[in-house]
Structure 1
Amino acid sequence: MVECKAARKIRQLFHHAVVEITASQWRNMFDVFLDTTRLLNKKENELQVAYWWATWNARNHFLFKKEKLDALISVAKAEGVVEAYRKFKRTEQQQLESSNMEKPKQWKPPLENWCKVNVDAAIDHQSQRAGLGVVIRNDKGDVVAAAIKPSSFNGDVPFAEVEAIEWGMQMAKRAGITTVILESDCQAAIDLANNKKGSKSEIFWVISEINDRRKEFQEVRLQ
């Protein structure tokens, strides 16, 4: 970093603020780095570190590949790395701001004397298995019941989600609930269960089960 002619050439071509290291200092690089953080601003520090990396990289090329890198290439690499880093950080910050602006969807309690049954299907495509999950809560948000059930997966996600709805109705019946809202995160499954669109033949029997189970409750809403 100090006496090497190649390092000196890279330093001379570098168009940004660089802290000079003199041979008389004889300190380790960590001490030098701490000093530079006090002398340079954030952007200059990023470039300083990139310049050191480019010099180290050029030295490794010479030692292990027996290649002498052009000093201009090393400088371009250093500046390119910093620009790529800054671009990444800008994108990351924009995504963070965007996600902060979006209001998270929160669970809402049902009407008084109603219970809400939230169902979901988790798919493992590799093993062709599905896990059906049910959580039942009352109008105060207290958990009344919860259950999970393994199932085979036939490659159709709405089918698995419809199965989860039927499983949720079974659990609600076992819990002695008469007025229930069933909630799924799969619109296609809800549309099928509400008969808003034609069902595939392989789903038909599950839809039939759901329709039969509706009769076991005073009131059922699927959403």
Structure 2
Amino acid sequence: MTDDGCPMCLLAPKTSKHILWESISAIDILGQCSKKIQKSKTTCQNMKELIAKMIKRLQQDEMEELALTLWNIWRRRNENVFNNVLIDPKTVLHRVLQMQHELAVNKANTDTQIQSNATRNGTWKFPPSGFCKFNWDVAIDRLQYKIDIGIAVRDEEGNYWLP
């Protein structure tokens, strides 16, 4: 095998689209996913185009399943390449289900936290003397494939710190 070949099937070129979507190894795992993902054998030039089509086609929970599955396929590939360990597809699928459960629990906890925060009076409290307070937020643009992170840092007097 050359450095350009797929480490999983040893045949095709090593591209992210092949490793995550087209290889026998990926198809074996994706074939166990929900029906919409199984039946999404679409022709695309690259992963970015494929993901863009999937975002339009799948519901939120299906997109989460796809993202977790692709991440675990990539992780399986890395375990094979770097540690010479081949993880069983059933183990990969079990990890995906476990991660989906954890995601659902975290969403439920976040919803509870949001409701709890809405009942507070919303006043900002100064940090102790000698400390700073960091507030941050994340915005995701699914159409443009962009993520923005905003951070505000304030000292014990409420002054903003600029980078």
Instruction: Give, in angstroms, the shift of residue 121 of structure 1.
Output: 10
1:36 aligns with 2:54: yes
What amino acid maps onto 1:84 in structure 2? E
Identity of aligned residues (%): 16
Correspondence for 1:5: 24
CA-CA distance at 1:79 after TM superposition:
2.1
Question: What's the offset of the Cα at 1:85?
Answer: 1.9
| Residue 82 (str. 1) matches residue 100 (str. 2) | yes
2:58 and 2:41 map into 1 onto residues whose CA distance is 14
TM-score normalized by structure 2?
0.58
1:20 equivalent in structure 2: 40
| 1:30/1:3 CA distance change after superposition, 3 Å | closer
Could you tell me whether the CA contact under 8 Å between 1:7 and 1:55 is conserved in 2? yes
- The residue aligned with 2:140 is none
Residue equivalent to 1:191 = none
**5+ unaligned residues in a row in structure 1: which ranges?**
107-119, 125-132, 134-223
Displacement of 1:26 = 4.4
Q: Distance in 1 between the 2:127 and 2:53 partners? A: 56
Question: How big is the shift at 1:40?
Answer: 1.1
Q: 1:123 to 1:46 in 2, by over 3 A?
A: same
Q: CA deviation at 1:123?
A: 5.2
- Distance in structure 1 (CA, Å) of the matches to 2:129 and 2:80: 51
* 1:103-142 superposed matches below 5 A: 103-104=121-122, 122=128
- In structure 1, the partner of 2:111 is 93
2:68·2:99 contact (CA, 8 Å) conserved in 1? yes
Q: Which amino acid aligns with 2:28?
A: K
Q: CA deviation at 1:83?
A: 2.1
Cα deviation 1:200-223 (Å, max 9, x = unaligned): xxxxxxxxxxxxxxxxxxxxxxxx
Q: Give the CA deviation at 1:91.
A: 0.8
Is contact 1:16–1:44 with CA below 8 Å preserved after alignment? no
The alignment's TM-score, normalised by the length of structure 1, stands at 0.43
Equivalent residue number for residue 10 of structure 2:
none
Are the structure 2 counterparts of residues 121 and 12 from structure 1 closer, same or farther at C-alpha, using a change threshold of 3 Å? closer
Separation in 1, partners of 2:76, 2:96: 11
1:72-116 Cα deviation digits (max 9, x unpaired): 11111122222212221221121111121133579xxxxxxxxxx
Greater percentage in strand: 1
| Amino acid aligned to 1:58 | R
Please give the alpha-carbon distance, in whole angstroms, between the structure 2 residues aligned to 1:76 and 1:97: 32
Kept in 1, the 8 Å contact 2:30–2:69? The answer is yes
- Partners of 2:76 and 2:114 lie apart in 1 by 36
Using the TM superposition, give the Cα deviation of residue 50 of structure 1 relative to its aligned residue in structure 2, in angstroms: 1.2
| Structure ID, larger Rg | 1
Q: Specify whether residues 87 and 16 from structure 1 end up closer, same or farther in structure 2 by C-alpha distance, changes over 3 A only.
A: farther
CA deviations on 1:2-47 (whole Å, 9 max, x unpaired) are: 432211111122245315335xx24111111111111111111111
| Residue pairs, 1:26-65, within 5 angstroms | 26-65=44-83
Whichever residue aligns with residue 29 of structure 2, its letter is: I
